[in-house]
Amino acid sequence: MNDVSDLHPLSATFHAAMRDRLRQTASDNGLDGHLFLRPSNAAYVSGFFYSANERPVGLWIPVEGDPILFIPELERENAEGATTLAVRHYTEFPGEVPPLLWMLDEIGPKSLSLDQLDALMLPAVRDRVRRLDLRDYAMEQRYIKTPEEITLTRAAAGFADLFLTRLSAAAGDIIAQGGTETDLLNDAMAFARGALMTRHRATFAGTPMGITATVHSGPRAALPHGAVIERQPRPGETLIAGIGASLGGYHAESGATFVIGQMNGEQRRIMQAMQDCDAAAVAAIVPSARCDLVNVAAQDVLRGAGLADAIRHRIGHGMGLDGHEAPWLAPGDKTRIAAGMVFSNEPGVYRPGIDGYRTINTMIVTETGVEIPSRFQADTPIDARVIAL
């Protein structure tokens, strides 16, 4: 990769276009506007990224009039330097008047939507509005990514792959010297994150970017979200690595399962079943297909391989400004798939007390099929996913 960024954060023009779209959805639904409280929704519509905490930030998008960004006072200078939107601030949380109620008082009695609401606040909120709609209009708009958003997703996927490339190359030496899961994680993380920062830090300053990862081995590989510990992987065990990377706030994922030393027949059979599961998910993703049925089509491959009892999670989830976001390739989500959606593809097989397997690809839905910007698996066949000692 080059050492100079050829990409840029999303522009003010992009965020203004998103505000215009959301004004239209408010008008179409008989609302005076939307009040967005989710940090990712506020960033999507304003371009203002901040450190989310207990102090809420709100963004009011009215059908008529100018948007208003509501922030805690400690974010005042940060917000005023990062956005051209009108900014109003409250003193502190929890406050004599809770911040959300203060925002509604500033807006006045309107018909509006809220993208999230603590149930305990519902009576007081209803007292301050003419009509309350608890539908997340921004998230629904975020389902379909624009070409600018997809460009950032592709780039993020490349840095997630870079972690796997480093792990594949360096793990054997690290383990042979007594290295642990933590050592493997730290080495590959430093390599991939260093490359990300070297290339994009200057251009993307002020926007979220980074890498998160897990590395598990042996019986601990059966814990999909287990902690990374000071455990030395052993010959014959599986080693799974899952990586999320973000650039300009946009997320992508890559992941792979390796075998340490030599792969046996059962391990290869499971790895092949997972690859076939991955392919089944890709084949099932076509415009207008239902998300829940993509999950069924993919996981039926694992069931057919006799691995039904080892399934622990859905096949995938949406990605964007949140690492996990709707829509979900999972039971219960009947959303119709459309071009521009971005999903993870995560076949997983977990055998408690024995081992675990997981691979991850990022999938971008197009008009003609699925683009997979995660390239590690395609470039590293199953038989090459062996860590020699």
For residue 373, which phi and psi values (nearest 5 degrees)?
-75, -20
Count of residues in the chain? 389
Same domain, 51 and 199: no
**pLDDT of 23-43, one tens digit each?**
999 999 999 999 999 999 999
pLDDT given at position 207? 95
Kindly report the CATH number assigned to the domain that includes residue 66.
Answer: 3.40.350.10
Question: 3-state DSSP call for residue 3?
Answer: coil
**pLDDT of 287-310, one tens digit each?**
999 999 999 999 999 999 999 999
Same domain, 123 and 187: no
Same domain, 168 and 133: no
pLDDT given at position 349? 98
Answer whether residue 2 is part of any domain: no
280, two tokens: 């089944």
Question: 3-state DSSP call for residue 256?
Answer: strand
Answer whether residue 6 is part of any domain: no
Q: What is the mean pLDDT of residues 47-63?
A: 95
Distance CA 210, CA 190 (A): 11
The alpha-carbon radius of gyration of the chain (Å, integer) is 23
Same domain, 185 and 329: yes
Backbone torsion region of residue 91, taken as left when φ is above 0, otherwise alpha when ψ lies between -120 and 50, otherwise beta: alpha
Of residues 327, 318, 9, 41, the one with CA closest to residue 155: 9
Of residues 214, 189, 232, 227, the one with CA closest to residue 323: 214
Same domain, 206 and 137: no
Question: 3-state DSSP call for residue 118?
Answer: coil
Split into its structural domains, the chain has a count of 2
Question: CB within 8 A of 80, min separation 6: which ones?
Answer: 87
Which DSSP letter does residue 290 get? B
**pLDDT of 4-21, one tens digit each?**
678 999 999 999 999 999
Pairing of strands 370-371, 111-114: unpaired
Answer whether residue 374 is part of any domain: yes
- Given a cut of 70, whether residue 150 has pLDDT beyond it is yes
Residue with tokens 């994922």: 253
Same domain, 133 and 190: no
Q: Across all residues in the chain, what is the average pLDDT? A: 96
- Is residue 295 within 8 Å of residue 314, measured between CB atoms? yes
**pLDDT of 87-143, one tens digit each?**
999 999 999 999 999 999 999 999 999 999 999 999 999 999 999 999 999 999 999
Exposure letters 112-140 (e unless 16+ CB within 10 A, then b): bbbbeeeeeeeeebeebbeebbeebbbbe
Same domain, 133 and 167: no
Q: What is the mean pLDDT of residues 187-193?
A: 98
pLDDT given at position 3? 60
Same domain, 118 and 223: no
273, two tokens: 């079943």
Of residues 304, 377, 371, 368, the one with CA closest to residue 342: 371
Of residues 130, 126, 115, the one with CA closest to residue 39: 115
- Given a cut of 90, whether residue 82 has pLDDT beyond it is no
Alpha helices, DSSP H, located in 108-180:
122-128, 137-142, 147-176
For CA atoms 72, 78, 80, 82, the dihedral sign is negative
**pLDDT of 205-250, one tens digit each?**
999 999 999 999 999 999 988 899 999 999 999 999 999 999 999 9
Kindly report the CATH number assigned to the domain that includes residue 260.
Answer: 3.90.230.10
Task: Show which of 87, 121, 142 is a domain's final residue.
Answer: 142
Same domain, 30 and 90: yes
38, two tokens: 């989710």
Distance CA 192, CA 197 (A): 9
Pairing of strands 86-90, 68-72: parallel
**pLDDT of 67-78, one tens digit each?**
999 999 999 998
- Is residue 22 within 8 Å of residue 34, measured between CB atoms? yes
- Given a cut of 80, whether residue 343 has pLDDT beyond it is yes
- Given a cut of 90, whether residue 2 has pLDDT beyond it is no
101, two tokens: 């109620």
- Is residue 211 within 8 Å of residue 188, measured between CB atoms? no
Sheet with 316-318: strands ordered across: 325-329, 316-318, 342-345, 361-365, 370-371
Task: Show which of 142, 170, 199 is a domain's final residue.
Answer: 142
Residues spanned by the domain of 208: 147-387
Distance CA 366, CA 341 (A): 8
pLDDT given at position 224? 87
Answer whether residue 255 is part of any domain: yes
Residue with tokens 């081992």: 355
User: What pLDDT band is residue 83 in, cutting at 50, 70 and 90?
Assistant: confident
CA distances from 55 to 77, 87, 93, 343 (A): 16, 15, 6, 30
- Is residue 295 within 8 Å of residue 330, measured between CB atoms? yes
User: What pLDDT band is residue 80 in, cutting at 50, 70 and 90?
Assistant: confident
Residue % of the chain over a pLDDT of 90: 95
pLDDT given at position 5? 73
